[in-house]
Structure 1
Amino acid sequence: MQVLLLKDPKEDECGQDPYVRELDSCGVSATLIPVLSFEFLSLASLSEKLSQPENYGGLIFTSPRAVEATKLCLEKDSKVAVWTETLREQWKAKPVYVVGNATASLVHRLGLDTAGEACGNAERLAEFICARKLPTLPLLFPCGNLKREVLPKALRNQGVPLESLTVYRTVPHPAIRSSLHNYYAQQGVPASITFFSPSGLSYSLEYIRELSGEHIEQIQFVAIGPTTAQALAAEGLPVSCTAESPTPQSLATGICSALQAHGAR
């Protein structure tokens, strides 16, 4: 059974992408095709803010890319923010809120503890933050240009001060079309395609429709979360399943159940 995951390959400590490994354990062969590229922005501004932890009540990361931008600021030869032990300890004394285990894992590599990773999405993270002791200083929120306003709006409504800074821009991966064409030429129409973001959907759907033709109706479309599921539905595509949480285990369970249900018809 061949399925397609539209995401960057990310090796874990075992040297394999955890989504591929989890699906393989279920007897499903998965291929990864990246559909997004990223350009980092405003790193000098982020470096300056990171060098002044006394001005903030904590950090918020809702994507691995925002953590990568932070890592660039702290590890490069910068006169503004070098990741000294003192600076690390100052930030470690403050809450670091994250969405998802992948983001949390990257934050842990910076030597910081995390909270909220089990929330799964920005809406639930906002609820998690507001249920805690509210900070008097603003939370620093490095984010991308396509961020949704759900979390900032929810925090503002609860009186939680927030300082957002756009630190990366999402653009289409330059090899989307050629990678998809090669996949279809070698593997044919996949049994299932998983989208990991609305932007990944918008950048790749034209090519998928072109390559699939009339066979697109046989594909099981899967979303990593409710926002992506809504984007699929807006395109008129049936959503076979939405992962209960953005984890390899949850996604593999959803894909296998959808494929089994489809095969039983």
Structure 2
Amino acid sequence: MSNDKYRILSTRHLTDSSIAVAAENGILIEVKDFIQIKPVTLPALKGTTPGWNNTYTSNIFQAPNVSVFTSANAINVLEQHYFSIGSDRKNGLFTFFLRDHANICCISGKTLQKAREVFPDCNILASSPYGSELAAAIIALGNISEVNFYCGNQRREELPSTLKQAGIRVNEFVIYENIPAPEVTTTDYDGVLFFSPSAVKSYLSTNRLPGKTVCFAIGRTTATALGEYTDNKIIMSTNISEDALVQTAIFYFNNINCYE
């Protein structure tokens, strides 16, 4: 017999460890991806040299160039679809050499973690939880005149707009698309985990939230998007990471009387 007291839905893939921790605290998490990531191939970014089609891609990540990321999805797409040279992908010696000591400015949490994984020995010049704050941190460095911004087709305007207003040139590379993957759910969940405004829109395009369902948002931007669609209780995680959002849900349901 299950000991689960609460059932919640995650609108994005979670690690097995996060699901296990929730289960240990009496919470069953079901996962349904409401957003699909579709890579976009940019010929200009991949280069044109036969047999070495990612030489240009790797070179533009070398210092003094500055790379900006506001989503781990962009780094995943670069790693899986741009940083490969046929059979050399297995050992990655060539691509890792050219990505060594990259200058990076990125969102904290999962994006920062992925940046450190994909770009060995990178220099993290600036990191902040939100795009507007990241832009301010980049400007505050005082020595950045141009950045390469890797993003998706649903990226927000705050970061590039703020940088441009400060006189910083932004070379924007849209390397993936956020594709809504709405699905009707028939379960009355006690809570739903949301990781992005696009997931909010996708989920609520086909589902109505029961009045008792609590919405958990990974950050301020997602919480704001939820407020535009529902009057249900919205609780924002203390940090923009998967672990923080799951722990926020665990704390809420373990201390539910404190929220009444």
State the TM-score bracket (shorter-chain normalisation).
0.7 to 0.9
2:136 to 127, 130, 139: 127
Look up the match of 1:29. Answer: 28
Given that residues 104 and 114 in structure 1 are in contact (C-alpha distance below 8 angstroms), is that contact kept between their aligned partners in structure 2? no
Look up the match of 1:206. Answer: 205
Pick closer, same or farther for the CA change 1:65–1:45 going to 2, 3 Å.
farther
Percent identity, aligned pairs only? Answer: 18
Following superposition, the deviation at residue 243 of structure 1 comes to 1.2
Pick closer, same or farther for the CA change 1:247–1:26 going to 2, 3 Å.
farther
Pick closer, same or farther for the CA change 1:87–1:76 going to 2, 3 Å.
closer
Task: Select the structure that is richer in helix.
Answer: 1
Name the aligned partner's letter for residue 151 of structure 2: C
Name the aligned partner's letter for residue 255 of structure 1: A
Pick closer, same or farther for the CA change 1:146–1:70 going to 2, 3 Å.
same
Using the TM superposition, name which of 93-102 and 251-260 deviates more: 251-260
Q: Would you say 1:39 and 2:46 are equivalent positions?
A: no
Look up the match of 1:166. Answer: 174
Q: Would you say 1:153 and 2:152 are equivalent positions?
A: no
Structure 1 distance, partners of 2:43, 2:33, is 28
1:30-89 CA deviation, whole Å, 9 max, x = no partner? Answer: 2211101122113322223524427962111111221122111111439xxxx9756644
Q: Secondary structure at the match of 2:231?
A: coil
Given that residues 102 and 123 in structure 2 are in contact (C-alpha distance below 8 angstroms), is that contact kept between their aligned partners in structure 1? no
Pick closer, same or farther for the CA change 1:5–1:222 going to 2, 3 Å.
same
Name the aligned partner's letter for residue 38 of structure 1: I
Structure 1 distance, partners of 2:234, 2:39, is 34
Look up the match of 1:227. Answer: 221
Pick closer, same or farther for the CA change 1:193–1:203 going to 2, 3 Å.
same
Given that residues 104 and 126 in structure 2 are in contact (C-alpha distance below 8 angstroms), is that contact kept between their aligned partners in structure 1? no
With the length of structure 1 as denominator, give the TM-score of the two structures. Answer: 0.78
Pick closer, same or farther for the CA change 1:117–1:224 going to 2, 3 Å.
farther
With the length of structure 2 as denominator, give the TM-score of the two structures. Answer: 0.80
Structure 1 distance, partners of 2:63, 2:243, is 39
Task: Select the structure that is richer in strand.
Answer: 2
Structure 1 distance, partners of 2:226, 2:193, is 11
Pick closer, same or farther for the CA change 1:162–1:149 going to 2, 3 Å.
same
CA RMSD of aligned residues (A): 3.0
1:50 to 57, 67, 70: 57
Look up the match of 1:100. Answer: 108
Pick closer, same or farther for the CA change 1:253–1:39 going to 2, 3 Å.
closer
Structure 2 distance, partners of 1:111, 1:52, is 13
Following superposition, the deviation at residue 149 of structure 1 comes to 0.8
Structure 2 distance, partners of 1:51, 1:41, is 17
Structure 2 distance, partners of 1:160, 1:25, is 48
Q: Secondary structure at the match of 1:208?
A: coil
1:87-143 CA deviation, whole Å, 9 max, x = no partner? Answer: 64454334112213322333333243252786222122212222224223x211111
Q: Secondary structure at the match of 1:92?
A: coil
1:4 to 5, 9, 13: 9
Q: Secondary structure at the match of 1:106?
A: helix
Unpaired stretches in structure 1, ≥5 consecutive residues: none
Look up the match of 1:74. Answer: 83
Pick closer, same or farther for the CA change 1:55–1:108 going to 2, 3 Å.
closer
Aligned residues: 243
Name the aligned partner's letter for residue 215 of structure 2: F
